Amino acid sequence: MPNVKVHSLFTEFDINLFKSGKHFRLYEKLGSHLIEIDGVKGTYFSVWAPSAKSVSVIGNFNAWNADEHKLNVRWDASGIWEGFIPNVGKGEVYKYKIQSNNNDIWTEKADPFARFCEHPPNTASIIWTADHKWNDKDWMSYRKEKNGLDKPYSVYEVHLGSWKKNADNKFLTYKELAEDLVSYVKEMGYTHIEFMPIMEYPYDPSWGYQLTGYFAPTSRFGTPEEFKMLVDTFHQNDIGVILDWVPSHFPEDAHGLGFFDGSNLYEHPDRRKGYHTDWKSLIFNYGRNEVRAFLISNALFWLDQYHVDGLRVDAVASMLYLDYSREDGEWEPNIYGNNENLDAISFIREFNEAVYSNFDGVQTIAEESTAFSGVTKSVEHGGLGFGMKWMMGWMHDTLQFFQKETIYRRHHQNDLTFSMTYAFTERFMLPFSHDEVVYGKQSLVYRMPGDEWQRFANLRLLFGYMFTHPGTKLTFMGGEFGQTSEWNFEQSLDWHLLQYEGHAGIQDFVKDLNHLYKSSPAMYEKQFSPEGFQWIDYSDHDNSVLTYIRKGHNEENDLIVVCNFTPIPRENYRIGMPKKGKIKEILNSDDVKYGGGGNLNKVIKVSTKASHGYKKSIEITIPPLGIIILG
């Protein structure tokens, strides 16, 4: 048998789909695949390199000699090189040695479709099969219900390398995370976990946002089947899994996608469209059919092979605009003379259509920081087709307000109320993400003004306001217990802080907020509809008090929310009573169990005295820097 046997997994139909950019299961064809031919076991390799003169598979099995295993180019102008190498099996490391049509250019590249990669700083691909027997049949059968837009959606955002370290100060493995992280997220009451990128990446300080192994879970924490086991364990505990996905850019590392076959294969050849000056990275060529097929295949791969429930798409704004972070003269308008990247917009729409047409009960979430219209509108109606969008304006305005000394808040209450003028223009997720606790911004608790007691009271109020505001929720790890230092990707969270009352109180409060969110239909049934929210009073600037109603399908489930943004308790504070019957305090951030002062409303009497346009009213005590929820 020759060193490389002629063989193909591609049909003519596959090639036609690939060339037209419509093959969305390329991971079943391209890459390395363990197969058997004529009783001989080995590996089939295929790689797209249309500008290559020759392509060889190199590895330990041939002493990295490019003359030993040369692949065969297909005859159909697809640019695909392929072949079967006998007696090369699982666990072998390999790369592609590519000679371009320009004989002076040679590249050594990791496999773009590799399922497993060497542990950085090593850069080779590994032949692998991620065998795993899934035990999440129940979750997958009712995921559509759990993951719906009218269901509670509280996300815990995690960087796996720094959530917690073991006794030797090393990463927790996927196996260890399946015990510690799953039990913690379940105990805290979150409905979903979101992983910052777990696809293979070479540079730790990138946090995973500069990928080289798009189809490989990072080897830092274990094997691909162990990552499947982690996802499976979350599902068995009724917790959805969201992955950060990065189709916006990729690094220039020598073994990566850049200049892959001696040409601008994956990146746009025009540096005005193909290079990010901020991130020193390359931008995909969204107008090239094969590149679109690569990216959409990658999205579907994680949903298909890893049972993932959602994709949070990073840096969407950088994709949408040709002038993103560019000065005049550094970008070229589109054919209509404006700054929209038409190829990228077309790609995003096709990506969302492919995701939602192929998988039930999943969501795509856009991290999009501009006022681009129709991000969550359906493609059919001219939108981008995302399920949700991060509400960046709300996040910035809210943090800006909370950072102000309380004596000045009366002059800036519109920073909070303004969000309700646009809250239902998209389906918004409210994020307090990793980006808000790095680069000198300080941790959430240390962005709060006042003494230590006020800082913690402010943070409880911040979380309470977030959970009662319309929209789904996302909090970054550490915020839920008042991490005091900025996030450092090289260190574990400061779990020792939980020995202190204030930190333990924050954690208990967030836990109770999560459970209240999940058990209160008024908090989620109409979270994307103006019918789900109503002001009682947003004009009491003098007292810095907001009162509003959250509504579901059944009026009996309506909740009344009262926020006091000053350290002065408001006693005998009268508000209109929009509900019939009795009313009681369900949650109070000033409860002593949360580290508060214990200003509770144990008995609330309904008066026939009119207030705020309602025939009846109640008098309550609003605790200092506190939020109370009545129902």
The secondary structure of 322-367 as a DSSP string is TTTT--TTSS---TTSSSB-HHHHHHHHHHHHHHHHH-TT-EEEE-
The sign of the CA dihedral 313, 314, 317, 321 is: negative
φ, ψ at 345 (rounded to 5°): -60, -45
State the Cα–Cα distance between residues 628 and 631, nearest whole angstrom: 10
State the Cα–Cα distance between residues 386 and 372, nearest whole angstrom: 13
Residue type, 106: W
- Say if residue 412 is exposed, middle or buried (CB neighbours under 10 Å; 0-12, 13-18, 19+): middle
Residue type, 489: F
State the Cα–Cα distance between residues 384 and 376, nearest whole angstrom: 6
* Torsion of the alpha carbons at 244, 250, 255 and 257, rounded to the nearest 10: 110
Neighbours of 342 (CB within 10 A): 15
**Tokens 């064809």 -> residue:** 29
Tokens of 263: 């040409």
Neighbours of 238 (CB within 10 A): 14
Neighbours of 444 (CB within 10 A): 26
Residue 136 annotated as catalytic: no
Q: DSSP 3-state assignment of 7?
A: coil
Which candidate, 143, 142, 189, 145, places its Cα nearest to that of 517? 189
Helices 452-468 and 392-402 meet at what angle, rounded to 10? 150
Annotated active-site residue in 14, 111, 225, 314: 314
Residue 67 annotated as catalytic: no
φ, ψ at 108 (rounded to 5°): -120, 115
Pairing of strands 93-100, 125-126: antiparallel
The sign of the CA dihedral 48, 51, 56, 58 is: negative
φ, ψ at 559 (rounded to 5°): -120, 145
Annotated active-site residue in 82, 111, 200, 367: 367
Would you name the residues annotated as active-site residues?
314, 367
